[in-house]
């Protein structure tokens, strides 16, 4: 069941993603100018990194030439004090923000606003975004600030120039969500959704899609709340019908809002997840499978482990054949070899009839234990101990050696040191036993870890110890002859 | 004046009914018995030949509303005159005598108008006659009647000889050049002033065009003429502290003087004045105005190095006893002589002494004489002083360089930080925004509104304490009193630790000296090689930074001045070291 906080977690995550999306380029021609649009008439060649370069036929970038041109433009004169003080002011704001001195930051912000009146049109054009970012940060944290102040600020900033309207609207909505004002956020998003200004650039289109998707996410939240209510109702209850009807309505609207965004390459985890949940709820398995497959396999999308996890979970729910599950997890194994699903992957491989899969099963286990985060995973060790024995029994010594060769230099000190043995024994005796068996099998009975553990005297584990020693004696790769 | 010409006028006076008319300077009739001035002016009556429209134009004068902008007709030079007037008034409130405004600056300005052929001459570039008559036509206007001295200048006794020649011109001038009307129509398209476009295009050889920074040159020249107690560095600091109108000075223009278009380029300014730049402009203007030798700078003048040195010693918290040494250096180098100090623009090579920089440089030289400033000797002398002070707590304490450094470093760092923060917070934009043309007027105003409303919003988030309280103007930036332990006052400390008795006179214990530079340009400029900070000792760097911050100048400028003083002080050594191809950097004190 989803709560607001969960949604907000997703939103925060997305917010971060949003920050890394290519920002709209500020300069394109628009029809029907108003307010400050005179700034947009002159197209400028300035890329987003703020590193102006001179476009030339070969696509070469000559920053020095631009600098030269700039000095000619200013008549070789020095930068004006206005430019100097405003840039000093900007760095003072940043410093204050860094030190969480909101009041001080607000003081400087008061002066920094005059950059909106800079006679340099290039600076004037980028100013609104800088002011928005800094200002919203200040208003977010400042003790004297309130939702009202933030709203006024956002509304004002939206209308300085036209290029920032959508971005600010979206961030404004996120702010409102953060304060639990879902309805206001929804209203805000609806307003932004219908906003049009001349020809849309491709980047603006992404923003509109994002805004719609967030609206969809909000509707999903309402839907899932309704679903919860529904689950508490009796099917015979007369309220049941209206409630389910209500839900249906919502899901329809939501899917429209969500599906447009999902088509565009990007990382859209929360959107995909909620969309799929709704599709599944209404029994559209094919639709859900298509969305997930596309999300995971379309090459235009950035590599995203979650896409494969969602697909795997979906296929598992669907009881898809083992072969299919293995192929999904194989990709995940390549991206995140330490993922917790890898143990499940190992089990699948073990059960497979394919010889290749058995070999991969061993590889996967070794792979998991390469990671420091997994060193105390008892399941992984147990699987490895068991599977090693099994493999060696099945006389696939070569497989083991292949894996071990690349690890024999560092695993002994990484996993099997004396210190480790002592601390493992102290913390988790079962883990220590499994590890000792593995150590014995890989390094022989002379190894420190094995010796250390086998010396320990413990009533309950006595039988296990004995077995362990026997296995080591019989199968250890160090003295295969004996 | 003008009783003859007034005979044609036969009306009865409205006040006393007499028929006895005289003509005022502006060409208006006044009653000689009751001094009532009529609205009628002479031109209207006796120049019937002139087409009516022109007469009306003259009569309506400044108050004539133009179709396009509804403002007065005004010339760029009037704008500058207004700024100068504001600045002079501000100087007066700073304590400068009223003669500066009423006589000196006024005359300089008249002379400028004449030299630049804008007025008081046979063929002015623009007809100034209309301007002057018009201005006097409206003595009742509140914004202008407060400055009759500046504007109704024709009857003023002029101290400039050539000024007298120009006086009769006004009356013999042609009333209006024919081209004027058409010019003003085209000009009105892109400037609020009548001649904004022409003015910005005007590029005559030998004419120094008026700019906003040059108004400060005018101010300084008049201060120097009056030998007032304000140095150039002080003047510029007062500008920065907004005690003297400069940035956005056009804001104080009367409402009806509209500025836009080209006027923006002429009157809007986005930088604080720079010492070297203004210094150059001072000389430029003084030569352009062909000014005679300025009043002598004698030992009792504030600008004399002896007095300025005392002032700066107090400012930076150094012992009073050092004054004897600075006086000695001034005497040896001949820098205290009247001919050296007095500004003479007519001289072959016009240059004025940078009084403040020079005085400070003398102090730096004295510090070098006493403490060598090689990051070594000053500290060992400090150790001696410290020990002495510990043992003799009753006595007058010896000056301890280290302690002084600690106190000053802290004080200057705080001051500098405050200064930087205040600069960062400075609001440059005027409440009256300037725009390029009528088209972007609404955009500019809307933008202004937006900024104001955003500022309002953020100002509510600022703490209740006013952020930058305006300091009252003072020529001192620091005040040192005996109270307070962390701000020790060193004025009364003695230099005994660093001086020794030799015969009848005192000698510095330190017998070494290093020269700031040995290479001077071989060409005319006599410039010193540039100041590369890292080549010098840390103490020297600190002292240069301290003083150059106080004067708001570049350290290199001060370094240059120090080098020039050293060149005078060690003249003999310079010539020998040059011959020896400067093997040693140290020269013994003579």
Q: Which of B457, B463, B554 to mutate to test the interface with A (most CBs of A within 10 A)?
A: B457
Q: Which of B425, B437, B444 to mutate to test the interface with A (most CBs of A within 10 A)?
A: B425
Burial of B54 from C-beta contacts in 10 A (0-12 / 13-18 / 19+): middle
CB B143 within 8 A of CB B150: no
What are B38-65's pLDDT values in tens digits?
Answer: 666 554 444 334 444 434 444 444 444 4
Closest CB to B461 among A106, A113, A117: A106
Range ranked top by mean pLDDT from A316-320, B178-182, B190-194, B344-348 = A316-320
Nearest-Å Rg of the Cα atoms of chain A is 31
User: What average pLDDT score do residues B222-239 get?
Assistant: 94
| Residue percentage of chain A with pLDDT more than 90 | 24
Instruction: Please state the separation of Cα B235 from the chain's center in Å.
Output: 5
Question: b or e along B250-263 (b: 16 or more beta carbons within 10 Å of the residue's beta carbon)?
Answer: bebbeebbbbbbbb
B534 pLDDT higher than 70: yes
Say whether residue B464 is in contact with chain A using an 8 A CB cutoff. no
E strand or H helix at B101: none
Helix (H, G, I), strand (E, B) or coil at B488: coil
B279 pLDDT higher than 90: yes
Count CA within 13 A, CB hemisphere, residue B484. Answer: 9
Quote the CA–CA distance of B484 and B304 in Å, as a whole number: 33
| Residue percentage of chain B with pLDDT more than 70 | 69
Please name the residue of chain A whose CA is at the shortest distance from the CA of residue B265.
A119
Closest CA to B254 of B142, B137, B149: B142
Say whether residue B524 is in contact with chain A using an 8 A CB cutoff. no
- Averaged confidence pLDDT in chain A: 78
Task: Report residue B180 as tokens.
Answer: 């004027």
Residue B532 zone, left/alpha/beta (φ > 0; ψ -120 to 50; rest): beta
Task: Report residue A36 as tokens.
Answer: 């400050």
Say whether residue B17 is in contact with chain A using an 8 A CB cutoff. no
CB B486 within 8 A of CB B324: no
Length, in residues, of chain B: 590
> What's the pLDDT at B502?
77
B519 pLDDT higher than 80: no
- Averaged confidence pLDDT in chain B: 77
Residue in the block written with tokens 């036209």 = A162
Distance from the Cα of A15 to chain B's closest Cα (Å) equals 25
Count CA within 13 A, CB hemisphere, residue A383. Answer: 24
Terminal alpha carbon distance of chain B: 69
Say whether residue B453 is in contact with chain A using an 8 A CB cutoff. yes
Lowest-pLDDT range of A240-254, A305-319, B306-320: A240-254
> What's the pLDDT at A466?
81
Say whether residue A81 is in contact with chain B using an 8 A CB cutoff. yes
- DSSP lists the bridge partners of residue A395 as none
User: What average pLDDT score do residues B2-12 get?
Assistant: 60
User: What is residue B460's DSSP assignment?
Assistant: T
Pairwise CB contact (< 8 Å): B461 & A92? no
B20 pLDDT higher than 80: no
Size of interface A-B (CB pairs under 8 A): 90
Distance from the Cα of B464 to chain A's closest Cα (Å) equals 10
What are A341-355's pLDDT values in tens digits?
Answer: 999 999 999 888 888
User: What average pLDDT score do residues A16-42 get?
Assistant: 32
User: What is residue A48's DSSP assignment?
Assistant: T
A365 pLDDT higher than 50: yes
B309 pLDDT higher than 90: yes
What are A256-310's pLDDT values in tens digits?
Answer: 778 788 888 888 898 898 888 888 888 888 889 999 999 999 888 988 999 999 9
Cα dist. A8→A94, A183, B524 in Å?
A: 27, 15, 74
Say whether residue A93 is in contact with chain B using an 8 A CB cutoff. no
In Å, the largest CA–CA distance within chain A is: 91
What are B90-149's pLDDT values in tens digits?
Answer: 999 999 999 998 899 999 999 999 988 888 877 766 544 444 433 433 333 333 333 333
Residue in the block written with tokens 């909106």 = A116
Quote the CA–CA distance of B220 and B91 in Å, as a whole number: 10
Instruction: Please state the separation of Cα B528 from the chain's center in Å.
Output: 26
What are A232-264's pLDDT values in tens digits?
Answer: 777 666 767 776 777 777 666 777 778 788 888
All residues of chain B having their beta carbon less than 8 Å from the beta carbon of residue A85 are 423-424, 426, 428
Lowest-pLDDT range of A227-236, A450-459, B286-295: A227-236
Closest CA to A171 of A200, A142, A210: A210
Q: Which of A75, A90, A107 to mutate to test the interface with B (most CBs of B within 10 A)?
A: A107
Please name the residue of chain B whose CA is at the shortest distance from the CA of residue A112.
B425
> What's the pLDDT at B370?
92
Quote the CA–CA distance of A443 and A454 in Å, as a whole number: 14
* Interface confidence: ipTM more than 0.90: no
Quote the CA–CA distance of B349 and B313 in Å, as a whole number: 32
Count CA within 13 A, CB hemisphere, residue B464. Answer: 0
Closest CA to A80 of A51, A55, A125, A115: A115
For residues A449 and A476, the model is more confident at A449
Please name the residue of chain B whose CA is at the shortest distance from the CA of residue A158.
B450
Quote the CA–CA distance of A195 and A321 in Å, as a whole number: 48
Cα dist. A474→A442, A445, A453, B8 in Å?
A: 12, 10, 18, 143
Task: Report residue A475 as tokens.
Answer: 């199968």
Three-state secondary structure of B239-269: HHCCCCCECEHHHHCCCCCCCCEHHHHHHCC
Say whether residue B290 is in contact with chain A using an 8 A CB cutoff. no
Pairwise CB contact (< 8 Å): B455 & A80? no
- Edge-first strand order for the sheet with B37-41 is B21-23, B28-31, B37-41
What are B161-192's pLDDT values in tens digits?
Answer: 333 333 333 333 333 333 334 444 444 457 78
Quote the CA–CA distance of A457 and A471 in Å, as a whole number: 18
Closest CA to A109 of B467, B227, B80, B121: B467
A112 pLDDT higher than 90: yes
Range ranked top by mean pLDDT from A463-472, B194-203, B326-335 = B326-335
Distance from the Cα of B467 to chain A's closest Cα (Å) equals 8
Closest CA to B106 of B170, B159, B169, B173: B159
Helix (H, G, I), strand (E, B) or coil at B407: helix
Contacts of A177 (CB under 8 A, 6+ apart): A7, A8, A11, A185, A218
> What's the pLDDT at A23?
30
Task: Report residue A147 as tokens.
Answer: 């939702």
Please name the residue of chain A whose CA is at the shortest distance from the CA of residue B240.
A81
Quote the CA–CA distance of A178 and A5 in Å, as a whole number: 9
Pairwise CB contact (< 8 Å): B458 & A135? yes
Quote the CA–CA distance of A160 and A37 in Å, as a whole number: 9
User: What average pLDDT score do residues B343-371 get?
Assistant: 90
Distance from the Cα of A159 to chain B's closest Cα (Å) equals 10
Closest CA to A170 of A127, A125, A207: A207
Range ranked top by mean pLDDT from A97-111, A192-206, B123-137 = A97-111
Domain coordinates in residue numbering, chain B: 1-39, 73-121+190-291, 325-393+400-405+489-579
Say whether residue A117 is in contact with chain B using an 8 A CB cutoff. yes
B311 pLDDT higher than 60: yes
A89 pLDDT higher than 90: yes
> What's the pLDDT at A36?
35
Cα dist. A179→A134, A135, A183, A186 in Å?
A: 19, 18, 11, 13
pLDDT band of residue B33 (cuts 50, 70, 90) is low
Helix (H, G, I), strand (E, B) or coil at A115: helix
Pairwise CB contact (< 8 Å): A103 & B450? no
CB B522 within 8 A of CB B537: no
> What's the pLDDT at A481?
47
All residues of chain B having their beta carbon less than 8 Å from the beta carbon of residue A108 are 424-425
Burial of A481 from C-beta contacts in 10 A (0-12 / 13-18 / 19+): exposed
Question: Considering Cα of B67, then B69, then B72, then B76, what sign does the dihedral take?
Answer: negative
Distance from the Cα of B456 to chain A's closest Cα (Å) equals 8
B372 pLDDT higher than 70: yes
């Amino acid at each position: 069941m989803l709560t607001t906080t969960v949604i907000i977690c997703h939103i925060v995550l997305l917010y971060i993603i949003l920050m890394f999306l290519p920002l709209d380029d500020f300069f394109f021609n628009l029809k029907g100018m108003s307010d400050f649009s005179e700034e947009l008439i002159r197209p400028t060649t300035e890329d987003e990194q703020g590193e102006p370069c001179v476009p030339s036929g070969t696509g070469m970038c000559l920053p020095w030439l631009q600098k030269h041109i700039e000095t000619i433009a200013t008549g070789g004169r020095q930068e004006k004090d206005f430019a100097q003080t405003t840039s000093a002011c900007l760095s003072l704001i940043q410093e204050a923000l860094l030190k969480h001195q909101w009041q001080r930051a607000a003081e400087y912000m008061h002066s920094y606003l005059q950059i909106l009146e800079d006679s340099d049109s290039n600076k004037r054009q980028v100013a609104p975004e800088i002011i928005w970012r800094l200002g919203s940060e200040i208003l977010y944290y400042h003790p004297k600030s309130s939702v009202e102040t933030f709203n006024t600020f956002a509304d004002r900033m939206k209308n300085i120039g036209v290029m920032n309207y959508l971005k600010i609207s979206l961030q404004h909505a996120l702010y409102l969500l953060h304060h639990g004002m879902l309805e206001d956020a929804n209203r805000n998003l609806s307003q932004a959704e219908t906003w049009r200004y001349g020809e849309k650039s491709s980047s603006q289109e992404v923003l509109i899609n994002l805004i719609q998707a967030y609206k969809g996410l909000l509707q999903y939240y309402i839907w899932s709340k309704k679903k919860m209510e529904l689950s508490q109702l009796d099917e015979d209850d007369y309220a049941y019908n209206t409630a389910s009807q209500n839900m249906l309505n919502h899901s329809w609207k939501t899917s429209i809002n969500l599906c447009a965004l999902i088509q565009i390459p990007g990382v859209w985890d929360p959107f995909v997840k909620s969309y799929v949940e709704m599709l599944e709820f209404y029994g559209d398995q094919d639709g859900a499978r298509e969305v997930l497959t596309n999300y995971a396999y379309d090459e235009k999308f950035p590599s995203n482990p979650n896409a494969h996890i969602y697909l795997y979970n979906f296929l598992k729910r669907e009881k898809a054949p083992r072969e299919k599950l293995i192929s999904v997890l194989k990709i995940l194994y390549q991206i995140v070899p330490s993922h917790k699903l890898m143990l499940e992957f190992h089990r699948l491989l073990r059960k497979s009839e394919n010889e290749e899969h058995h070999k991969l099963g061993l590889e996967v286990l070794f792979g998991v234990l390469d990671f420091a985060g997994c060193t105390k995973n008892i399941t992984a060790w147990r699987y490895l101990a068991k599977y090693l024995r099994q493999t060696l029994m099945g006389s696939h010594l070569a497989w083991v050696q292949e894996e071990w060769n690349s690890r024999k230099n560092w695993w002994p000190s990484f996993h099997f040191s004396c210190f480790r043995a002592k601390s493992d024994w102290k913390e988790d005796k079962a883990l220590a036993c499994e590890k000792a068996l593995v150590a014995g099998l890989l390094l022989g009975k002379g190894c420190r870890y094995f010796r250390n553990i086998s010396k320990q005297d413990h009533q309950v584990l006595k039988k296990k110890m004995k077995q362990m020693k026997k296995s080591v004696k019989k199968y250890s790769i160090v003295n295969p002859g004996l | 004046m003008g009783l003859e010409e007034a005979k044609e006028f036969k009306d009865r006076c409205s006040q006393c009914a007499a028929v006895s008319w005289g003509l005022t300077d502006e060409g208006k009739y006044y009653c000689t018995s009751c001094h009532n001035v009529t609205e009628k002016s002479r031109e209207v009556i006796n120049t019937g030949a002139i087409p009516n429209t022109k007469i009306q134009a003259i009569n309506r004068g400044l108050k004539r509303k133009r179709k396009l902008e509804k403002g007065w007709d005004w010339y760029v030079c009037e704008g500058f005159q207004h700024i100068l007037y504001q600045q002079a008034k501000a100087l007066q409130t700073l304590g400068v005598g009223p003669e500066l405004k009423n006589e000196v600056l006024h005359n300089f300005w008249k002379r400028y108008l004449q030299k630049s052929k804008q007025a008081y001459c046979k063929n002015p570039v623009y007809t100034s006659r209309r301007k002057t008559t018009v201005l006097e036509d409206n003595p009742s206007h509140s914004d202008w009647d407060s400055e009759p001295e500046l504007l109704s200048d024709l009857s003023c006794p002029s101290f400039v000889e050539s000024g007298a020649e120009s006086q009769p011109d006004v009356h013999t001038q042609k009333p209006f050049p024919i081209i004027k009307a058409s010019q003003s129509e085209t000009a009105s398209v892109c400037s609020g002033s009548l001649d904004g476009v022409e003015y910005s295009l005007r590029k005559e050889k030998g004419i120094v065009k008026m700019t906003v920074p040059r108004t400060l040159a005018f101010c300084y020249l008049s201060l120097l003429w009056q030998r007032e107690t304000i140095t150039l560095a002080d003047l510029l600091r007062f500008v920065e502290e907004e005690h003297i109108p400069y940035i956005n000075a056009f804001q104080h223009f009367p409402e009806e003087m509209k500025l836009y278009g080209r006027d923006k380029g002429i009157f809007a300014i986005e930088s604080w004045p720079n010492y070297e730049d203004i210094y150059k402009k001072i000389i430029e203007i003084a030569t352009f105005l062909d000014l005679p030798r300025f009043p002598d700078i004698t030992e009792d003048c504030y600008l004399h190095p002896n007095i300025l040195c005392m002032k700066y010693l107090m400012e930076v918290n150094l012992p009073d006893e050092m004054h004897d040494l600075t006086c000695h250096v001034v005497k040896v180098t001949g820098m205290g002589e009247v001919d050296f100090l007095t500004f003479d623009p007519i001289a072959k090579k016009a240059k004025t002494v940078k009084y403040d920089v020079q005085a400070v440089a003398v102090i730096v030289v004295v510090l070098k004489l006493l403490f060598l400033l090689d990051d070594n000797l000053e500290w060992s002398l400090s150790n001696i002083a410290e020990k002495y002070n510990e043992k003799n707590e009753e006595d007058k304490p010896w000056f301890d360089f280290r302690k002084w450094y600690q106190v000053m470093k802290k004080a200057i760092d705080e001051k500098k930080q405050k200064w930087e923060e205040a600069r960062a917070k400075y609001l440059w934009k005027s409440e009256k925004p300037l725009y390029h043309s009528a088209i972007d007027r609404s955009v500019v105003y809307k933008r202004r509104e937006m900024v104001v409303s955003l500022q309002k919003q953020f100002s509510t988030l600022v703490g209740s304490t006013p952020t930058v309280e305006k300091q009252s103007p003072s020529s001192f930036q620091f005040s040192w009193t005996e109270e307070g332990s962390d701000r020790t006052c060193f004025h009364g400390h003695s230099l005994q630790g660093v001086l020794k008795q030799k015969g009848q006179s005192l000698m510095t214990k330190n017998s070494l000296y290093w020269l700031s530079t040995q290479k001077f340009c071989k060409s005319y400029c006599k410039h010193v090689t540039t100041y590369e900070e890292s080549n010098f000792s840390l103490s020297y760097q600190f002292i240069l930074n301290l003083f150059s911050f106080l004067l708001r100048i570049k350290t290199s400028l001060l370094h240059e001045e120090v080098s020039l003083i050293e060149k005078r002080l060690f003249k003999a050594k310079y010539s020998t070291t040059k011959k020896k191809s400067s093997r040693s950097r140290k020269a013994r004190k003579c």
